[in-house]
A = this chain, B = another copy of it.
Amino acid sequence: MSQPSEFKALDKSLRKQQVIDAATRVFHQKGYHSATLEDVAAELGLSKAALYHYVSSKEDLLSHIYLQALEAFFASAYEIGRLDLAPPAKLRRFIRHHIQQVIIDNLAMFAVFFAEENQLPEADRRQIRREKAKYTQVVEGILAQGMAQGHFRPSDPRLTAFALIGMCNWVYKWYRPGAKGFDPQVISEHFITLLEQGLLARPEGQAAAGRPRELVQELRRQAQALAAQIAELEKLC
């Protein structure tokens, strides 16, 4: 019968997942190179040699972590990008998903993902870079669409995407699960509001003046940026 062997197979892949998860925790805590396979084995109550039943090398272990991180990235990103929603709503969904389901649900995984890219062989590294670029492009697409439809203030979509993704990814550096601290939902909504509304108080921008001289410089720069945006748009008309 194939039933038992399927059970076996399931068992084995389940165990393999446990090995990967243990490695993720250990690599996160000690760093990929400092961590030994004995550490990983100890985390599971196994001997080092037993790990080689499930993975072929330490590097293979790291590759698996990266593959799963990419899966987490793209689990819903594409669908959100393709949803039939107005860009602001799309963006809100994306941010909530990225902060909560991607980063916070996989803290250790992304700590490793962001830290150990250079330990991978060049071929894998190139793939990772491509996939990251794709992810940025999803955000860029939402932003560009929103600007074209007049929902968002016009600005360079790539630079804005970098800002947004950086703000969200950085969460892995300071968020600690449990107990006191910020709730994932609170973080998401705070970031969404900050991104949409900005910092400045709405009613009047007048009191916001520092020294006139600096303000003039600042306004001039804004004026230049505006002029560039106008020029660019006029080409399209």
Interface residues of A (CB under 8 A from B): 29-34, 85-86, 88-92, 114-116, 118-119, 143, 146, 148-156, 159-160, 162-171, 173-174, 182, 186-187, 189-191, 193-202, 205-216, 218-223, 225-227, 229-230, 233-234, 236-237
- Chain B residues within 8 Å of A164, by CB: 167
B89, B159, B207, B211: the one within 8 Å of A151 (CB): B207
Closest 9 CB pairs of A and B: A166-B170, A89-B210, A198-B198, A33-B33, A150-B209, A86-B210, A167-B167, A197-B198, A150-B210
A155-B210 in contact given A119-B34, A169-B170 (Cβ < 8 Å): no
Instruction: Give chain A's interface secondary structure class.
Output: helix
A152-B189 in contact given A88-B210, A233-B212 (Cβ < 8 Å): no
Bound CA–CA A201/B92 (angstroms) = 16
B149, B197, B236: the one within 8 Å of A200 (CB): B197
Bound CA–CA A174/B140 (angstroms) = 15
| Copies of this polypeptide in the complex | 2
Task: Please name 7 further chain A to chain B contacts, defined as beta carbons within 8 Å, in addition to the given A165-B170, A169-B170, A216-B233, sorted by A numbering.
Answer: A86-B210, A89-B215, A148-B212, A150-B211, A154-B215, A196-B200, A226-B226
Which single residue of chain B is at the shortest CB-CB distance from A192?
B218
Measured CB to CB, the closest approach of chain B to A139, in angstroms, equals 12
Measured CB to CB, the closest approach of chain B to A199, in angstroms, equals 5
A173–B163 CB distance below 8 A: no
A86-B208 in contact given A220-B230, A230-B223, A233-B215 (Cβ < 8 Å): yes
A153–B216 CB distance below 8 A: no
- Chain B residues within 8 Å of A32, by CB: 31, 33
A151–B189 CB distance below 8 A: no
A199–B195 CB distance below 8 A: yes
Which single residue of chain B is at the shortest CB-CB distance from A154?
B215
